[in-house]
Amino acid sequence: MITSRIIANGILKAIVAIVLATLLLYFLYQIQSVLIYLIVALILTLIGNPILDFFKKRMKFNHLFATIGTLFIFILIISGFIMMFIPLVSSQSQNLSLLNTAEIEKNTIQLFDQFNLFLEGHHIDSLKILKEANITSKINFNLIPNFLNAVLGTISSFGMGLASVLFIAFFFLKDRSLFIKSAKKLIPDSHEDQILNSLEKINFLLSRYFIGLLIQLFIVFLLYLIVLLLFGVPNPIVIAFLCAVLNIVPYIGPLIASVLAAILTMISHLGSDFQTETLPTTIYVLIGFWIVQIIDNNLSQPIIFSKSVSSHPLEIFLVILIAGFLFGILGMIVAVPMYTIIKVIGKEFFPENIVVQLLTKNL
């Protein structure tokens, strides 16, 4: 029989659970930076595992020196990027006057004026339409400086974050066997083999995925760089690097990269004749970027991703598309790793399910 005391206890337990959950979420929100450090360190660990194994198996290093060697390679790569890009970014920001709101507005209006002259030369009266729309007054030119100030603020804390990530990654690599032993003690004996097999397979597949992602971004970077060099766009390394990084966001990232490249190309040609130099160069750069995307979408990306996570290219496309509709850009970025984890867990725990069998036949 349900009494008022039982109901009161149930309500009290529910309130306590809600309060504890709220406190936990608040705590996680407060330490979000630490969580980000842990996630980035875990990604570095997954990328570093094959390098660590190479040092141990091929170079015959002991585990400690293999870990130090792996971390040293990470430090060399990061230092190389910093040394290469800081002077170039500084030069690019000065050339484009990115922190000067008035200069941005002036350059944008100048581009509009040149475009209007071009259209008038082809008997298209767009000046009246543009003036009536008053487009420049509707654009918030403070968005760019505010965004860059946020980026600079992030860069200012980059040093401490980088040191924290490398420190955590070092112990993830060094003590991975210790973590596995500790995990075994927490795992129920009835599911120990399934969980350990899942973790091993997930580690293997995600290691290959992140390495494949780095290879794909490097290929795109080189192709973008070739396009920009061919058409004499200033600071091609910086622009190619920024556009390549945007490819982390599937499908949308390349579109943003093309728009960014077009804008930077036009701004870098301010003062030149719009019809004979600025517009043709911008069109050639866009065509070049689209050709790069055709190569990437049909060759490098499907081969690298489908091989690294043992999934069909169409399967990956649909997963990214669904994740994008459900969770936006962040969902598109994490779609493939999360889908891979779900597939591995499904194969280990539900091997008799027909759908799981169809999706995991290559795992």
DSSP code per residue over 104-143: HHHHHHHHHHHHHHHHHHTT---HHHHHHHTHHHHS-TTH
* 111 in any annotated domain: no
Q: Is residue 360 part of a domain?
A: yes
**Within a domain: residue 333?**
yes
CB 311 within 8 A of CB 340: yes
Residue 98: its pLDDT value, please?
A: 42
- SS3 category, 363: coil
Q: Taking a C-beta distance cutoff of 8 angstroms, is the pair 74, 169 a contact?
A: yes
Q: What is the pLDDT of residue 96?
A: 45
Q: Is 219 inside a domain boundary?
A: yes
Handedness of CA 149, 82, 85, 91 (dihedral sign): positive
pLDDT given at position 95: 47
The count of domains in the chain is 1
Q: Is 45 contained in some domain? A: no
Residue recorded with tokens 């990604």:
43
The predicted structure's pLDDT at residue 259: 85
Range of the domain at 234: 187-363
Q: In this structure, is residue 105 part of a structural domain?
A: no
Which positions of the chain have pLDDT values less than 70?
1-3, 81-159, 183, 189, 270-275, 302, 363
Assigned domain for 49 exists: no
**pTM for the whole thing?**
0.67
Tell me how far apart the alpha carbons of residues 40 and 63 are, in angstroms, rounded to a whole number. Answer: 22
Domain for residue 114, yes or no? no
pLDDT of residue 140: 52
**What is the tens place of the pLDDT at every residue in 64-119?**
888 988 888 888 877 776 665 555 555 545 544 444 455 555 666 666 666 666 66
